[in-house]
Every structure is written in structure tokens, then in C-alpha cells.
Chains A and B, each alone.
Chain A
Amino acid sequence: MSQVRVLGELAVLDDVGPPRRGRAYPAAGATSALLLPAAVLLGGLVLWPVLRTIHASVTTDGRWVGAEHFQTALAAPGTGAVVGRTFLWALLVPAVVTALGYLLAAASRRSQEGGLVRLILLVPVALPLVVTGVTFRLMYDPDPTRGLATLLAARLTGRPYDDAPQLLGPGLVTVALMSAFVWAWVGLAVLVFRSALDAVPSSLADAVRAYGGGRRHVLWDAQWRPLLLRTTAVVFALVAVGTSRTFDLILVMTPGSVRDEASVLALRIWQTSGGTTTGDGAALGVVWLVAVVGGIMVAALFVRQAWPPPPAEKAPEPSPVAPPRRVFRLLAAGAAVAWLVPLGVLVATSAHGRVDAAARGWWSAPPNAESYRTVVTGTELWHTLGFTLLLATAVTATVLVVALLAAYPLAWLTGPAAQATGLVLLAASVVPIQVIAGPVNEVLGLVLSSGTAQGLALVHIALGVPFAVLVLRNAFADLPVEQVRDARLGGRRWWHTLRRLARHNLSAVVAVSVLEFVQVWNDLVVGRLFSGPGASPLGPFLAEQTRSFVSNSGALAASSVLASVLPVVLIVLSRRHLVAGLVSGGVR
């Protein structure tokens, strides 16, 4: 094992050194065969479409036009505000999530109620972002007789109900969207910080104290410098890339009249080009692509560490340090209660029939099961759930097989080659699908037909593979040499070795499977761009119903609750396995 601990600092993973040599290399021919499926998928459905998009951004009907599309797109009215807002999202929201995540992770450590707090914070992470949007739109309903937040805001500011502050109005809509996003993502940050804090050896803190260091010195020298700096960078980058997902929230939460005030690049590209990628839309897409890929590269190089950072190898010994101060514990408990409120609003609304939910608000009418009866007795929801289950299962299984095959030979790369592979995979896993939708459709038209279940599955697979390969490659590369040797001696062929390795890496395999499954289950964008009749997944199904939000809120809330059960259960049950995978950047 090449990991050397220097003052608690974990050495660069990919600097694997001599012990790795002479391991179970698959033969050169086998290597190519193993890499082929992943390479074909990435080449055909990610790399080629990216090149096509770049090409489309500088040409019109194949004719070179230079920067003309960029000038037109950037000069269009409102584009400056859109770009500015996109950057605001990518800087402000990660800062808030990171800070809150650290605070709550520290505050919920080593206390009895801490586990429960973290569990509550984790639930929103698992929800489809469409459901988060539905939940917050219910809370922020502009009518104080229905919207809890609007009611409270009117009371707090002492305004009459008719003049209540409008959280979804043009002035505050971005704040409202950001609050929903923070709610959904803080649990993830807490999870990562918790594992980082646990990985910091407590002996280090003791050493600092022994030299007369106070609380602040412990934080700085025993936590921040050895590990938290990197973790913060990872969480920040993760959330920043994740903000490209605001698209889902904007579509669900904003009424048409404020969509401009909420617009970010993702939405602007959607509005400019729809499902095709041409001219101005392609130019905006390239701008966005460069920002996202550039951002993640800078973060990765800044961290200067293979992705992901190593998981804690053994359970940390029980710490002699006392639980956090009372005020921090109260903070954690308060956060848990606050995080429960939106969930409560969603469930309460779902427990009302169509008329009550639309006309009275959930707190002024007794609950009943009418909405559930409506959606459960109808066939549409079941059909959608069944299709989505099948789709997510098929995609997860395929991604796992393709990624296991590819990760195996890649894990034995060393030095610059390993670093380069890591960066390429990282870049591929953050390419926003809206940017390359048009060319992807062209490719799908060649091999299948777009708008079919197979086409939809193929896009999901191509988008899921880079991240899965990355996680599995790192997990394989991180195996103790004895285990590899055992596997090699026990297995007669390389695939036996692979099988044994996969078994030894159960955590990584579970993390990849659960994340991919939940990713597909919760998806809106891919479904919207590539689904068709007979292939309608959950995300578009729910989002379509928000077009008549108020008159339909009871049934929509009930469908949302039913749609969220599976991802929440999966994420909660597998949360310990997930840490390793999540740290490495569970976003595309």
C-alpha cells in the first residue's frame, strides 16, 4: 500500500509507486476489449456531441462565421443578467451550502441526537429536484391562505394579506429558488464533512493541545490544514457544478411571468434552442460548457488529489473529546426542525382533496385521503412509476457492467496517465446535457430512434458511465496489494480477478449503483429532452402537472410523495456506503 500518512495528510492516491507493478494486468487485447463499451458510449454520446456543438457555435449551415453567434447571443437583451445570475448561483449557493454543511456536521458530531439530525438532513438529498420544487412552491404560494411562508412573512412584516411579500415575485424569486436548492443540498455537505472530520486523527488535536493550542488552533492546525481545506474545496466544487441543476427548480417553481427574472444559462439555452443545437444556442452552450468544465478542472487541480479523496480506512476510535457546546447542539436541532417543515407541508397538502388544497390551504381543512385515492386508482402514475423503475434498473445494471469492465484496466495506470484519465472522466461527468442535446439526438437517430425507451436509456447510460468509472477505478487502485494477490491467485483468469475485486469493493459498487439508480429515477432534463410517447419517466410526468399548479396541488403533492419513497429509502439505507462515492462528485 502506497499511502503514507504525513501528519494525518493522505498522500496522493494515484501516486501508486512500485508495489502496483506486476499486478493482474489484463492482456493488451483484453484491455481494449474491456475499455471498448465505455469508450464507444463516451465517444459517441458525449465527446462527438461536444465537438458538434462547438462546431455549430462557429458555423451557420456548415459555413464558418467565427464569433458571430457568440456576439449575437451575448448581445441579446437580458443575456448579461442571465450570465451574472448563473455565476451568482455558482458562487453564493456553494458558499452557503459549504458553510452550513460544516457547521451542522460539527454540531451534530458525538451527540445523541446527532444521528437523527443527519438523517433528517439527508432526506431532501434523495428527493427528486422536481419534488423539491413542488414542495417549495407550495410553501411560497403567493396566497397567504395557502402558502405558509407567505403567511408568516405577512405576519412578520405586519402587512395586510392582500399586500403580503411575494416570495415568488420578480424581486425575490431567485432567493426563493436558492433556498430550495440549499435545503436540498446541505445534507450532502454534512455527510461529506462528517466523514472528513472522522478521518482527522484525534491524536493530532491532542498534539496541538499538548503544545498549548486553544480551540482555534485545534481547528486550524488539526482540522483545517490537514483535511478540511480540501474537503471544503471538493464540496464547493460539487455544489457549484450541481447548480447547473437549477433548471429543474426554475421550470417547476416559477410562474411564467417571472421566468425571465429567474433565468440562468441552462434555461436560456433551453428557450433559445429547445431540443436542437444551433447557432446562438450552441454559442451559449459552449460558454456554459467552458465555465463548468473549467471550474471543475481548477477545483480538481487546486485540490491536487486524485478523485475521490480516500475514505477513512478504519472506524475512528471513540473520541475522548466532549460533545459540542450546547449552543451548537441547539443549532443542529433547530436546523433539523426547519428542514422538516417543507416535508411536512408537502405531506399535509397531499392529505387534502383537490378543492381543499386549491381553495383553503392545508391547515384549515381536516385531512383526508382523496388525493391519494385519485392518483392510486388512476393508471397513469403506476404506469409512469413502473416504466421509471424498469428504466432506472436497466440503466444502473448496464452502467455498472460497462464501468466495472473499464475501471479494471484503468486502475493499473500510474503517474500522468492516471491523472489525465481522471481529469477526462471528471470533465465528461459534468457536461451539461442541454448543451449537447441536438447532436445526441442525431447520434440516437443513427443507432436507434430518439424518443424511444431505448434511446432514453442509452443517454442515461452514457452520462452515468464516466462518474461510475471514476469511482470504481479509484476504488480498485486503492485496494491493498494482498487482496489483489489473493484475488489473482484464487482466480484463474482476469475476469475471476475482476469478480473478486468487485466483491472486495462492495462499498464502491453499492455507491455507484444507488447513485445511478437515484439519478435516473429523479431525472427531469434527460427525460424532457429524450423521452417520447410510451417512454414517459417520472420527472417530466410530475413537471408537466405543474402547469396548472394550484388547481392540481393535492394530487401533485400525493404523486410527489409516492414518487419520493423509493429514492429516500435507498439513500438512507445505503448512506454509509455512499460517503466514498459521494465525496467524489455525484453530479453530472
Chain B
Amino acid sequence: MTPSVRLGRRALLRAAAASATALAAGCSGGTRSVQVAVVWSTSELDRFRDVVAHYPGDVQVVSAGNDIDAFLRARHLAGTSPDVAILPRPGLVTEYAQRGWLSPVRPSSEYAVPDGLGELLTAEGRRYGVWVKAAHKSLVWHLPSMLSEQPANWDELVALTRRLGAAARRDGGPAPLAVGAADGWVLTDWFENVLADVAPEGYNILARPKADWRAQPVRDALGRLAELWSVDGAFLGGGRRALLTQYEESVIQVVHTRRAVMLFGADFTADVVGPFQRGPEAPTTFPFPGARPGGGPLIVGGDAAVAFTGARGGVELVEWLTRADSFRPWLRAGGYLSPNTNVPISSYTDQVGQQLAREMQAPGTLRFDLSDQLPGAFTGSDGVGIWRIMQGFFADVTDGVGAGEAIRRATGELASAARSAGGGR
């Protein structure tokens, strides 16, 4: 196409756009502020706005919601990328970096994250992102009055589930477990915890390209899940009902209607508990039980900040976000866990927060959420990728399909999904 033709088409389209432009609402402000696109919405968005209100410059926060990837792609195509984005998965950071969309960032001197987290945000030896928020994903929640003794290891959890399940079926007592299996990420979090416990080495290998999803660690982890999930009466209303239960409803089943005793969930469960708590009794947590007492897995998730190429003030804002006191408003409000080990434990206002921060900062076997590191569609969303496969596995084992057969199906699907996403062999 010749340049003149192109120009002609542009001019025509511009002319057509002019009428719409004149009529439609333009929301652009006058002075140039740093624009940040974030995944958060509702209360988390408000908290983040409180945080950047203390930034010396003007910051415009825009919520792109869960489709932030599609949003950023469209903005990139249109040449209107924001200055900074906060991304929900490290896989996106490296992907954007390899495409040349991002500029390298340098954190402040007060920034330090647990081993293994920092390198997830590097590409070709350069750092393209920093962690700004962490999620502790190895907790089991319950009301103190509903459970007298917390299971110390996996076998105790299975025995407890059997006992409570039998009681629930006999006299209609509360079910042992609530699970929001309609949300695929709940099940992948289960899988990751068990996997990190039974095969710590295998866990990291699976995050790499050319991983073998039919290997023994995967089968061991699925076998262990099948052992618990197939317990008769384990889940409130049974497996079919659990697959229609969203995560937030499962929280309500434990803290409000009290029809289930335990809930596996991340630290942000506390946000949901708030409005549904009955009376003064607040839920408490115990660590996800591992094979040995006191030796359970620790899975964390997190959100990372990146600066786009050619952004004005982006790198500076990212640097500011890594300072130890930047997130103080959110810390004070609660529901925020910092990935930065230089944030003092004392800045957490509640005991649970302090406990979680202490675990995060302890040197040890912390692992980053595996599904968030998987390539392409394999990473999962509603009806897609590893989310869908884990839901299929859950449906199988709660519906009486033998563990061996269910594992064979699931590993087959995992391997083929990994292959078509370009990650497996």
C-alpha cells in the first residue's frame, strides 16, 4: 500500500470519527499524570488509590479488571499503553518483556523479596518487574468453635475428614470441607500445595518449558488429592454441588451458615469474611498440612508492577512502590500482605497478618503459584486450561471414578494442554 493511499484512508476515518469524538464523553484530564492500569477492582482498587495518593506526583489509577492482558494488548495495538501496569501473573511480565514492550526497572534499596521470587520477573538477565503484593495460599480456615483440634499433618486431615464426613451423613452435621470448585484456581491451589509437599523438586521443574506432565510427581500429587476428595461426604452437598459453588460462597458456608467446618483458602479470604461473620467469633487458620507435622508447603501468589517502554514517570513510580513504607495505608486497612521482607512485622495491625508475614519472611521452602507460571492458555481461566482439567479431575474422583483412572485422564489432558500451549513435551 502506498503512503498516500494510507494517508487518504486515515483522513477519511478521522473525518468519520470527528462527529463521534465531538459527541462522546472525553475523560482525559488536562495535565499529564502517570497512568497505572491495575487488575484490582472494588475495595482493593480503593486501597491502592489510597496508597498512590501519597506519591509526590499525580497518579491516575485505572482498573482493567481480570482481562488486563486483553486490555493491554489492545492498548498496545493502539499505541496508548499506560505508563505502569500491575500484572497478576509473572508469565505476563516475561512475555511482554520478550516482545520489547517493557523498560527495565530498578527497585529501591529497601526492596527485598524471598528467594526464588525475584528471578520470575527477569528476562535475559534484566529485571522487568517488581513484586508489590503477595498472597499466602497455604492456609486452612475454620471457626474455633467448630473444630477442637487442628490436624497437624496430611494423614490427620484425611482421618478428620473421614470422621466428620461420616457424622455428617449419619446425623446431618456440618460437612468437613467447603470448596469453591466453580472457580478453577481454587483447585489448582489445592494441587500446588500437595505437589510442593510430595515433590518439592518436581514442582519447579513443571514450571519450566518441556515439562513432563505425566511424570511421577504429578501422579503422586493427584493421588493424594484423590485420597481426600473421594472421602464419602467430604464436601458440602457433594462434588456436583461443590462444582457450582463459587469461592466466596464457600467462605459463607464456613463462617456464616456454618454448614461446613474447614475451608482451604488464601489470606485474602479475610476480606470476604468481614460482612458475613456472625457474632464476635472470627475464623482462625492453620497451615496446609504436609506429610510431616510442621513441615507443610508454602505457596505464594503475587502481583507485579512493570513500566512500559517510553513511559513518562513509569520507572520512578515503580521504584517508589518498592519502598518499605509506600503501602502503609493498605497495611493499616488490612487485607494486604507485602512481598517485601524489609517491611517490619510490626506494621501489620492484626495477628493473622503478622503470622503470615513472619512465614513469608522465614527463609525456607516458599514456592510461587505454579499455574500462574504456565504458558498461554494452559495457565487457566473459566472453562480453559489447567482450571478446567482440575475441575474434571475433581468431578471424577467425587463421582466414584477410581483414582487410577481419574489420574490417567487428568495427566493425559495436562500433557496435551501443556503441549498445545507450547510448554510441555
Contact of A533 among B64, B245, B247, B384 (CB under 8 A): B64
A153 beta carbon closer than 8 Å to chain B: no
Rounded to whole angstroms, the CA-CA distance of A278 and B13 in the bound complex is 24
Is A544's beta carbon under 8 Å from chain B? yes
Which residue of A is nearest B61, CB measured? Answer: A533
Question: CA–CA, A456 to B275, complex, Å?
Answer: 36
A162→B382 CA distance, assembly (Å): 25
Q: Does B63 sit at the interface, judged by CB under 8 A?
A: yes
Whether the Cβ atoms of B382 and A256 lie closer than 8 Å is yes
A37 on interface, CB distance cutoff 8 Å: yes
Contact indicator A355/B275 (Cβ below 8 Å) = yes
Minimum CB–CB distance from A321 to chain B (whole Å) comes to 50
The answer to whether the Cβ of A54 comes within 8 Å of any Cβ in the partner chain is no
Question: Are B244 and A258 touching (Cβ within 8 A)?
Answer: yes
List of B residues within 8 angstroms of A275 by Cβ? 67, 70-71, 73-74
Give Cα distance in the complex from A466 to B15, angstroms. 19
CB-CB contacts below 8 Å: A465-484 with B: none
Query: For the complex, is A263 an interface residue (Cβ under 8 Å from B)?
Result: yes
Report if A446 contacts B (CB, 8 A): yes
Per the 8 Å Cβ criterion, residues 143-192 of A in contact with B are 143, 162-163, 166, 168-169
Judged by a CB distance under 8 angstroms, whether B333 is at the interface is: no
Q: Find the residue from B64, B75, B183, B247 having the highest chain A CB count within 10 A.
A: B75
Which of B24-32, B195-203, B211-219, B299-307 forms part of the interface with chain A? B24-32
Assess the B276–A447 pair: CB atoms within 8 A: no
Name which of A94-102, A297-305, A386-394 contacts chain B.
A386-394
Q: How large is the interface on B (under 10, 10 to 19, 20 to 34, 35 or more residues)?
A: 35 or more
Q: Mark B28-45, 1 if CB is under 8 A from A, else 0.
A: 100000000100010000
Please name all residues of chain A whose beta carbon is closer than 8 Å to the beta carbon of B183 when the two chains form the complex.
256
A548 touches B62 (CB 8 A): no
Among A442, A450, A550, find the residue whose CB has the most chain B CB atoms closer than 10 A: A550
A358 at the interface (CB under 8 A from B): yes
Residues of A within 8 A of B382 (CB): 256, 259
A169 B244 Cβ-Cβ under 8 A: yes
Question: Is B332 engaged at the interface, CB distance under 8 Å to the other chain?
Answer: no
Residue of A nearest to B60 (CB): A533
CB of A448 within 8 Å of the partner chain: yes
Q: Are A458 and B20 in contact (CB under 8 A)?
A: yes
Q: 1/0 per residue A328-354: CB within 8 Å of B?
A: 000000000000000000000000001
Known contacts A257-B391, A260-B388; is-contact A390 B25 (Cβ 8 Å): yes
**B17, B64, B66, B387: which contacts A448 (Cβ < 8 A)?**
B17
| Distance in angstroms between the alpha carbons of A544 and B71 in the assembled complex | 15
Residues of A within 8 A of B387 (CB): 256
Q: Is the CB of A398 within 8 A of B79?
A: no
Q: Is A271 touching B384 in the complex (CB atoms < 8 A)?
A: yes
What CA separation (Å) do A453 and B184 show in the bound complex?
A: 33
- Whether A446 pairs with B13 at a CB distance below 8 angstroms is yes
* Residue in chain B with minimal CB distance to A387: B25
B23 at the interface (CB under 8 A from A): yes
Q: Is B248 an interface residue (CB 8 A)?
A: yes
Enumerate chain A residues within 8 angstroms of B237, measured Cβ to Cβ: 142-143, 162
| B257: interface (CB < 8 Å) | yes
| B21 and A454 form a contact (CB under 8 A) | yes
Q: In the bound complex, how far is the Cα of B336 from the Cα of A345, in angstroms? A: 37
B91 within 8 A of A: no
Which residues from B are CB-within-8-Å of A166?
240-241, 244
Report B361-381 CB contacts with A as 1/0, cut-off 8 Å.
000000000000000010001
Q: Is the CB of A271 within 8 A of B19?
A: no
Give chain A residues whose Cβ lies under 8 Å from the Cβ of B13: 40, 44, 443, 446-447
Which A residues are CB-close (under 8 A) to B184? 256-257
Interface of B is mostly: helix
Judged by a CB distance under 8 angstroms, whether B182 is at the interface is: yes
Q: Is the CB of B246 within 8 A of A358?
A: no
State the CA gap A166–B182 with chains docked (Å). 14
Interface 0/1 of A528-550, CB less than 8 Å to B: 10101111000000001001111
Enumerate chain B residues within 8 angstroms of A169, measured Cβ to Cβ.
Answer: 240, 243-244
B10 touches A550 (CB 8 A): no
Which chain B residue shows the least CB distance to A462? B16
**Smallest Cβ-Cβ distance to B21: which chain A residue:** A454
Q: What mask results when residues 179 to 216 of chain B are scored 1 for a CB within 8 Å of chain A, else 0?
A: 00111100000000000000000000000000000000
Q: Does B78 contact A (CB under 8 A)?
A: yes
Is the C-beta of B238 less than 8 angstroms from some C-beta in chain A? yes
CB-defined contacts of B182 to chain A, threshold 8 Å: 255-257
Do A551 and B276 have beta carbons less than 8 Å apart?
Answer: yes
Interchain CB contact under 8 A, B249 and A550: yes
Are B252 and A551 within 8 A (Cβ)? yes
- When the two chains form their complex, are residues B24 and A449 in contact, meaning their CB atoms are under 8 A apart? no
A548 to B250, CA, bound (A): 11
Would B241 and A142 count as touching, CB distance under 8 A? yes
Q: Does A16 contact B (CB under 8 A)?
A: no
Contacts of B246 on A, CB cut-off 8 Å? 255, 547-551
User: Which listed residue (B15, B41, B78, B395) contacts A544, Cβ 8 A?
Assistant: B41
Contacts of A544 in B (CB 8 A): 41, 65-66
Alpha-carbon distance between A276 and B19 when the two chains are bound, in angstroms:
27
B12, B71, B243, B248: the one within 8 Å of A258 (CB) = B243
A394 contacts B249, C-beta separation under 8 Å:
no
B62 in contact with A534 (CB, 8 Å): yes
Q: How far is the CA of A366 from the CA of B303 in the complex (A)?
A: 42
Q: Does B80 contact A (CB under 8 A)?
A: yes
In the complex, what's the smallest C-beta–C-beta distance from B171 to chain A, in angstroms? 14
A528–B246 Cα gap in the complex (Å)? Answer: 22
Which of A271, A274, A454 is B17 in contact with, Cβ under 8 Å?
A454
For the complex, what is the distance from the CA of A550 to the CA of B244, rounded to whole Å?
11
Query: A7 interface residue, CB < 8 Å from B?
Result: no
Asked whether A232 is an interface residue with its Cβ less than 8 Å from the other chain, the reply is: no
What's the least CB distance linking B144 to chain A, in Å? 20
What residues of B have a CB within 8 angstroms of the CB of A451 in the complex? 71, 74-75, 78, 80
Partner of B243, one of A41, A257, A455, A551: A257
The answer to whether A274 touches B16, judged by C-beta atoms less than 8 angstroms apart, is: no
Q: Is B14 an interface residue (CB 8 A)?
A: yes
B77 within 8 A of A: yes
Residues in A with CB closer than 8 Å to B77 are 276, 441-442, 445, 450
Q: A259-B383, A548-B247 are in contact. Are A535 and B27 (CB under 8 A)?
A: yes
Contact of B256 (CB < 8 Å), options: A355, A441, A552: A355
* Known contacts A442-B77, A453-B27, A551-B276; A142/B244 CB under 8 A: yes
Partner of B252, one of A260, A358, A533: A358
Residues of B within 8 A of A258 (CB): 243-244
CA distance A535 to B69 in the complex (A): 17
Tell yes or no: A123 within 8 A of B by CB. Answer: no
A residues less than 8 Å from B23 (CB atoms):
394, 397-398, 457
Q: Do A532 and B240 have beta carbons less than 8 Å apart?
A: no
Q: A44-B13, A534-B28, A548-B247 are in contact. List 20 more A-B contacts (CB 8 A).
A: A37-B19, A40-B15, A256-B183, A257-B182, A263-B383, A267-B383, A355-B256, A358-B249, A359-B257, A395-B20, A443-B13, A447-B10, A451-B74, A451-B75, A451-B80, A452-B27, A454-B21, A530-B74, A533-B37, A549-B249
Where the two chains meet, the residues of A that have a C-beta atom closer than 8 Å to any C-beta of B are: 37, 40-41, 44, 142-143, 162-163, 166, 168-169, 255-260, 263, 267, 271, 274-276, 354-355, 358-359, 387, 390-391, 394-395, 397-398, 401, 441-458, 461, 528, 530, 532-535, 544, 547-552
* Residues of B participating in the A interface, judged by any CB pair closer than 8 Å: 9-10, 12-17, 19-21, 23-28, 37, 41, 62-67, 69-71, 73-75, 77-80, 181-184, 237-238, 240-241, 243-249, 251-252, 256-257, 272, 275-276, 377, 381-384, 387-388, 391, 395
29 contacts between A and B (CB under 8 A): A162-B238, A163-B238, A166-B241, A169-B240, A169-B243, A255-B245, A256-B183, A257-B391, A271-B377, A275-B67, A276-B73, A355-B275, A394-B24, A395-B20, A398-B19, A398-B20, A398-B23, A441-B74, A448-B17, A449-B79, A450-B75, A454-B21, A456-B24, A458-B16, A530-B74, A533-B63, A534-B28, A550-B246, A551-B272
Report, nearest first, the 3 A-B pairs whose CB atoms are least far apart: A533-B62, A259-B383, A256-B382
